[in-house]
Structure 1
Amino acid sequence: MNTKYIDLISQTYYFPQEEFKLKDNNLEFHDINLMELIKEYGAPLKFTYLPKISENIQRAKGWFNNAIEKNNYKGNYNYCYCTKSSHFQHVLDEALTNDIHIETSSAFDIDIVEKMMKKGKINKDTFVICNGFKRAQYVSNIARLINNGHSNCIPIIDNYEEIDLLSEEVKEDFKIGIRIASEEEPKFEFYTSRLGIGYRNIVPFYEDQIKNNEKVELKMLHFFINTGIRDTAYYWNELVKCLKVYVRLKKICPTLDSLNIGGGFPIKNSLHFEYDYQYMIDEIINQINNFCEEAEVPVPNIFTEFGSFTVGESGGAIYEVLYQKQQNDREKWNMINSSFITTLPDTWAINKRFIMLAINRWEDEYERVLLGGLTCDSDDYYNSEQHMNAIYLPKYKKEKPLYIGFFNTGAYQESIGGFGGLQHCLIPSPKHILIDKDKDGNITTKLFSNQQKSEDLLKILGYDDN
């Protein structure tokens, strides 16, 4: 009878996979010996595998280049990284080695851009696409960037007042884009995105505020789908509506030459994950090509804004199972030595799924369990609602430590969880490790941040003796 954990995984999924394999009964992730990582740094811990960031950027560039060549597309492709997915310097440093551009969301993003410019990571050719609702400080920072000569900074107009606000502070002529307020999926509680300007209002808005404004040049139409780029009737329908607006605008606005198809690619959230990236890109480029040809207008340059796709699959979190609680005849709770609410907040907030696997003891028998966090909050758990299937792990044995890993967690979790700040029930943030490869291809590790100490939290709370 096949009762071992390795049997369960092998029968349920195609295993091993490109990034996951076993060595000496322990799980490896991109050839990283996770048990050695645990022995050196302990658990809980978080890690970022930096080479995966560049790998995904280059994959996307290759897919778009293939589609452009296949469809004889006359426009260019520009890859943008959404900094809101992870603002950390080590992420930006790695991403910017790949000749990409930046998309910002708020005022302090511009300060990061200026820091990276001083380091030579960003230059005057780098597009800085400024999204989001723009309060006074954001407007001032955008204006400062443009006034200092960064002509490829393109604020994306989100509401009717932003052009006037920017014009007051930007000294010279400047470029802008307009964000389309796309319609949301039928399951949403509202019909139209709160961000951007409605489809029907964009052309009148252009004619009223932009057409005769000698200081402003419209360069980009920004199209964003909250659910991402997926092969659904909803996505294709919204793309067609976007293209109708682009064609109408292009016929009266010669300077419009770029289409930003925001909305990210999905990332792997299960060992069952399948997504034909090349097919989707081929179809998008083909549809834009055909639509513009029929309308007899030039095709736009294509911009994409990939955040989760850029950084998500680089991250992971490792926990130790501290104890097992048998709460009734059916439910066994494996208690981890951290908190899901604080370290993987998307599991709690939106039932986000991540790949979860045992790291050691793959030859042991398995059992069905629930996973509980350390806080006293009843929502601090991870179960089959978030996981693709019921959760099975090697049987808990007090004398044989069990470690589990959550993978592809690199997007949003640190910022949403409040990195370096207060954590629910004062559960400390775990260590964070940076993993890289040297010039010979050998794995290297470096401690980025230690686990929070009580004095760190007490100082924030005002219990500072000084």
Structure 2
Amino acid sequence: MKTKYIDLIDQTFVFPQPEFTLDSSNQLLFHGVDLMQLVAAHGTPLKFTYLPRISQNIQRSKSWFQKAMKKISYQGEYHYCYCTKSSHFSFVLEEVLKNNVHIETSSAFDINIVEKLISENKISNSTSILCNGFKNAAYLDNIIRLNKARENNVIVILDNYEELNLLLAKCDKKINVGIRIASEESPKFEFYTSRLGIGYKNILTYYRNEIKNNDQVELKMLHFFINSGIRDTSYYWNELLKCIKIYVELKKECPSLDSLDIGGGFPIKNSLAFEYDYEYMVEEILSQIKNACSEAHIPDPKIFTEFGSFTVGESAGAIYKVAYQKKQNDRERWNMIDSSFITTLPDSWAINSRFILLALNRWNENYERVLLGGVTCDSEDYYNSEQHLNAIYLPKFNKDKPLYIGFFNTGAYQESIGGFGGIHHCLIPHPKHILIDRDEQGEIKVDVFSEQQNEDQVLDILGYNRKDK
């Protein structure tokens, strides 16, 4: 009779998988990294980032586009951009920039980060900076300063009708711009049109009135993004075709327009049962663009993508110890972790994001159905089948045999939304964070990025240690 946790995983999923394997003791490895060894060395709760995965995903995307372009004889270039809002950490940007990519920004401080990387020679002269998002005064000032230093490599993506005039009022240099399309949102959304960008019907008029006859401004790019991501749905293909139609019409009037930014939205693996045909989607997108351009007798545009979650999401994870089990009513078993979902995996709490959840140890033991609870006093601090693909099963709780669990592919947004190094709900400290890399020989290297937050750091932020009190 197969009643062990290892049997459950084997019967439910195809296992092992490229990034998830077991060692000789049936303990979990992530990309060959011994996770229980990390627990022994650093304790829990523990956040980790496996840096090589960032470069792997960038190169995967590049290969898919290059392969598809060759197959359909697409004549434009492909440019990979990293969307910094997914993770601004220096270790992420430094890994990303090893791969000859471009950068997309979304706020004023992004520009400060870019300037810091330029000063350290980590951003080359050929790197394009796409300045996206709503632009307040500080963001505009920083863009103007960057444009003055790197006029040919900055493209300002106009989000509304006023931004160009605000830029021109302060800038005496040439400005390369793009226009963001306000796409129509998925039918499930409570609003009809994206709050970002300029409506389809108004783009040509806006170009004619504000850009066409202005020698200081050159339109280089049309920008398109669907909030629900790049999915094989009639909704996505309909929105893509509308975007391509606008590009074709605009190109006929604007010779300088040569780039189409199709945004981000590649999904990341959130279950061992995850399936997505990346190669098919890339080829189909490029085919739709090429066909429309061929019919209109215009050149194939340069293609830009802005992958954020896809770049960094699958590189990280969080490890917890099951500290205690509470039995509520007759059927509920609550495994209490030694941290909080609200503070360390906020997307699981706020928008029911799904992550891969696996036990690290005790795979040879019997399993049970459980709910997972965090240690805050908030009733919403839990992770259950609503977020997970299905009911949660883990090796049976035994207070004499500690159980460790891991959440994987958590690298996008969790640290910034959770407020890295700041104040967290119920003053739960931010976990220790380590970086995992490989040297030239492929050997694993582990460095501590930050220790677990301590009481003095928390009291400093709250003002209790001020000397002027």
* TM bracket, shorter-chain basis: over 0.9
Secondary structure of residue in 2 paired with 1:125: coil
Q: Aligned residue for 1:4?
A: 4
Secondary structure of residue in 2 paired with 1:262: coil
Q: Distance in 1 between matches of 2:257 and 2:50?
A: 39
* Unmatched 5+ stretches in structure 2: none
Q: Aligned residue for 2:17?
A: 17
Q: Aligned residue for 1:58?
A: 59
Q: Aligned residue for 2:295?
A: 294
Secondary structure of residue in 1 paired with 2:289: helix
Q: Aligned residue for 1:105?
A: 106
Alpha-carbon distance, 1:121 to partner:
1.1
Q: Distance in 2 between matches of 1:462 and 1:342?
A: 21
Secondary structure of residue in 2 paired with 1:435: strand
Q: Distance in 2 between matches of 1:379 and 1:149?
A: 47
Secondary structure of residue in 2 paired with 1:396: coil
Q: Aligned residue for 2:270?
A: 269
Q: Aligned residue for 1:207?
A: 208
Contact 1:124–1:151, Cα closer than 8 Å, also in 2: no
Q: Distance in 2 between matches of 1:150 and 1:409?
A: 36
Q: Aligned residue for 1:363?
A: 364
Contact 1:124–1:150, Cα closer than 8 Å, also in 2: no
Aligned length: 466
Q: Distance in 1 between matches of 2:120 and 2:349?
A: 38
Letter in 1 for 2:398: K
Secondary structure of residue in 1 paired with 2:152: coil
Alpha-carbon distance, 1:465 to partner:
4.8
Q: Aligned residue for 2:305?
A: 304
Q: Aligned residue for 1:182?
A: 183
Q: Distance in 2 between matches of 1:95 and 1:411?
A: 14
Secondary structure of residue in 2 paired with 1:186: coil
* Unmatched 5+ stretches in structure 1: none
Q: Aligned residue for 2:285?
A: 284
Q: Aligned residue for 2:168?
A: 167
Letter in 1 for 2:334: W
Contact 1:227–1:263, Cα closer than 8 Å, also in 2: no
Secondary structure of residue in 2 paired with 1:154: strand
Alpha-carbon distance, 1:145 to partner:
0.3
Identity %: 68
Q: Distance in 2 between matches of 1:444 and 1:11?
A: 34
Q: Aligned residue for 2:29?
A: 28
Q: Distance in 2 between matches of 1:187 and 1:146?
A: 39
Alpha-carbon distance, 1:232 to partner:
0.6
Q: Distance in 2 between matches of 1:115 and 1:232?
A: 41
Question: 1:1-400, aligned counterparts within 5 Å?
Answer: 1-23=1-23, 24-400=25-401
Contact 2:264–2:308, Cα closer than 8 Å, also in 1: no
Alpha-carbon distance, 1:149 to partner:
2.9
Letter in 1 for 2:182: A
Secondary structure of residue in 2 paired with 1:126: coil
Letter in 2 for 1:371: L
* TM-score, length basis structure 2: 0.99
C-alpha deviations, 1:138-170, integer Å up to 9, x for none?
000000001113421101000001111111222
Contact 2:321–2:405, Cα closer than 8 Å, also in 1: yes
* TM-score, length basis structure 1: 0.99
Alpha-carbon distance, 1:263 to partner:
2.7
C-alpha deviations, 1:21-70, integer Å up to 9, x for none?
11112100000000000000001000000000000000000000001101
Letter in 1 for 2:190: E
